[in-house]
Amino acid sequence: MYDPSTEKGKVVEELKKVYEKNRQQVGRYEFYNLLEKCLIEVDLTENDKKKMKDLDMETTLIKEIKGLAMLLSRFKPADWNKFLDVVIK
């Protein structure tokens, strides 16, 4: 997944670029919080929904991140469990 010569590695690299671009555009903490809300499917305010639509997050970041998370849980369950431990705490 972290090897840029693989298909998923290329996706990760592209996601990093999109994340950095949007983070600079919106602001570090504001973008992180919006991304987190979208990933854990918290009810969004109208303002958050507008920002999400303006940044085209649903079709780029959210979809790809969820896809990579699914792959991680399937093929590297130990890494997935470590990730969940961090998230839950």
**What does each of the 89 residues of the chain score in pLDDT, given as a tens digit?**
678 888 888 888 888 888 888 888 888 888 888 888 888 888 999 999 998 888 888 777 888 888 888 888 888 888 877 776 765 55
Separation CA 51–CA 26 (nearest Å): 9
> What predicted TM-score, i.e. pTM, was given to this entire model?
0.69
Residue 6 DSSP class: S
- The pair of structure tokens assigned to 63 is 């979809």
DSSP string, 19-79: HHHHHHHH-HHHHHHHHHHHHTTPPPPHHHHHHHHHTTTIIIIIHHHHHHHHHHHHH-HHH
Are 69 and 8 in contact by the 8 Å Cβ rule? The answer is no
